[in-house]
Structure 1
């Protein structure tokens, strides 16, 4: 993987810079290969069923220095090319109304968090493919104006497990991956060797492409048009490893999509086929530095979504502890 930063990223056409093009028929065959339907009794927790108390105990042993690294981006109330639905933040009480002491200050927040600006968790109800949610459940019957009755974020609850950071720019010797650059299975294997870390069952895999750093230095762009991320040919490897969670500083999908007629193929494979929730829009810059300082790329990860009955996901502040 090499990087050639530019002020105005131009997305490569599918099948060139972002990897080989994949037909709809090839994608459907891949989907059927990696799906885990019928595997777990509590189907709408999906791959989080892989994380046992033993996983948690082993993960807590990774906390040595006590360093805690939050990975959420700031609450973004400013519209831009990567924030078409800005979050809201208003003061609802400024302490200027006569009342007994002490005075209080209150605020109101609201957000349409699925998108490119807010750090959030995608629950299993967030994505349907071929009309089906994970485990083959019919989306139209289970998600309506009242929310989701299968795959809700409230069913997931918190996740505490071993996190693994694959710091891809560090591996390639670049400042960031260019928007539109695809990450393949071979890149993941090379990163494991270089960083001396191995993705295991029940792990949360986090991919750093350096998009946060690029945005800070070069300005915002439209990540729906071009973003670094996984090519679908990397997903069988992650299915084989048995990950419980996938996340990154983008939304895990390379864009433009390499799959004909499917705009977010990694979302479909991870959430619908594999039952793996996604963490989108992380800020992994501080974690990258912390991992370099610690000399290791595995840590304790804690993700605690809001308890929203029927919710298709939640804003989150994931924590890495080293």
Structure 2
């Protein structure tokens, strides 16, 4: 597929599309695409990805649904109720009430729109999708309709890289992971990036969350978060690699604010521009340990999203297999 895909510098291909967007790239036979960069995961790519399964070891990349215990303001923490002796029998039911983005999550394509146009990926109007709910084509159910996600995953371990190169940083700050860092990690870990890969970057934040580091409490109030630095060069690189998705243990994948003091540029570029899902607040400690043990930072990755028509996001439900 890569040979048929325009480079970032050739985008957009539609006159009504914002700069650097992939609107129309994956449309076929007059049908508007709803899968975005997941189209890079071809059947051939899935079959090739199975070669990553060598030891049979697996690890789940989800934080417990009640962590962080203090989620982003406006997002209610999970509420779990267990009912005993239901249906007149010695059995039980339980209810979960949660915001799909309060813990490990995949941002779907209805999460973040192009802010000036008020349109989502491929020109879907915000009013139609969210306010009138007349167009639910980009809802999170689309991921289930395409069969979920099965792909090759690659882990770039910034914790490992920073230790090796004596880089001192705070996971509770807005430390920017640069494109140069990313390229050096790829070289250092002996990785190659393939079309359809899902790129995962470990910052170390999930360790702090799981250990209930005192700094977790109230760290939202500071409004500064670690992540990749969403420079124009980084956004161009992400598209030109033909990545299917990106994810991290960071709050937003991108650092907030960016090095130029902008905010959420990568969300707009990836979600609204490319149709690329973004994974956030993943638990990457066990994955990093397994990768280090095997000295192999690529693996088979599966995602089984919530099947909610018109849904904005899904809990992560993500697993890596070595």
Q: Which range, TM-score by smaller chain?
A: 0.7 to 0.9
Mapped to 1, the partners of 2:307 and 2:245 lie a distance apart of 18
* Aligned equivalents of 1:56, 1:263: Cα separation in 2: 34
| Contact 1:34/1:239 (<8 A) preserved | no
Equivalent in the alignment of 1:218? 213
Match of 1:37 among 6, 23, 27: 23
Alignment of 1:263-278 (within 5 A): 263-278=263-278
Q: Residue 150 of structure 2: SS of its match in structure 1? A: strand
For 2:156, the equivalent position in structure 1 comes to 166
Partner-residue secondary structure (3-state), 1:300: strand
The equivalent of 2:178 in structure 1 is 184
Structure 2 gap segments, 5+ residues each = 1-16
Check whether the contact 1:169–1:175 (CA below 8 A) recurs between aligned residues. no
Mapped partners of 2:87, 2:188: distance in 1: 63
- Structure 1 runs of 4+ aligned residues shifted over 3 Å read 31-34, 81-84, 145-148, 174-178, 257-260
Question: Aligned-pair distance for 1:58?
Answer: 0.7
1:108-155 deviation line (CA, Å, top 9, x unaligned): 1011122xx411111111111121101122211222264851311111
Q: 1:197 is matched with which residue? A: 191
Contact 2:176 2:258 in 1 (8 A): no
Deviation, 1:175, is: 8.3
2:103 aligns with one of 118, 123, 131: 118
Q: Deviation at 1:275?
A: 1.1
**CA-CA distance at 1:210 after TM superposition:** 0.4
Q: Distance in 1 between matches of 2:238 and 2:156?
A: 13
Cα-Cα RMSD: 2.3
Q: Deviations over 1:202-245 (max 9, x none)?
A: 11011100012234263214246121111112221111101001
Matched residue count: 285
Distance in 1 between residues matched to 2:87 and 2:41, nearest whole Å: 52
The two structures have a TM-score, normalised by structure 1, of: 0.82
The yes-or-no answer on 1:56 pairing with 2:52 is no
Structure 1 range deviating more: 131-140 or 47-56: 131-140
CA distance in 2, matches of 1:110, 1:217: 22
Within 5 Å, which residues of 2 pair with 1:92-111? 93-95=83-85, 99=88, 101=89, 103-111=90-98
Deviations 1:3-48 (A, max 9, x none): xxxxxxxxxxxxxxxxxxxxxxxxxxxx955321111125211111
Counterpart residue number, 1:73: 63
Q: Is the 8 A contact 1:248 1:279 kept in 2?
A: yes
Q: CA–CA distance in 2 between the matches of 1:292 and 1:226? A: 29
Classify the secondary structure of the residue corresponding to 2:151.
strand
Q: Is the contact between residue 52 and residue 300 of structure 2 (CA under 8 Å) also seen in structure 1?
A: yes
Structure 1 residues not aligned, in runs of 5+: 1-30
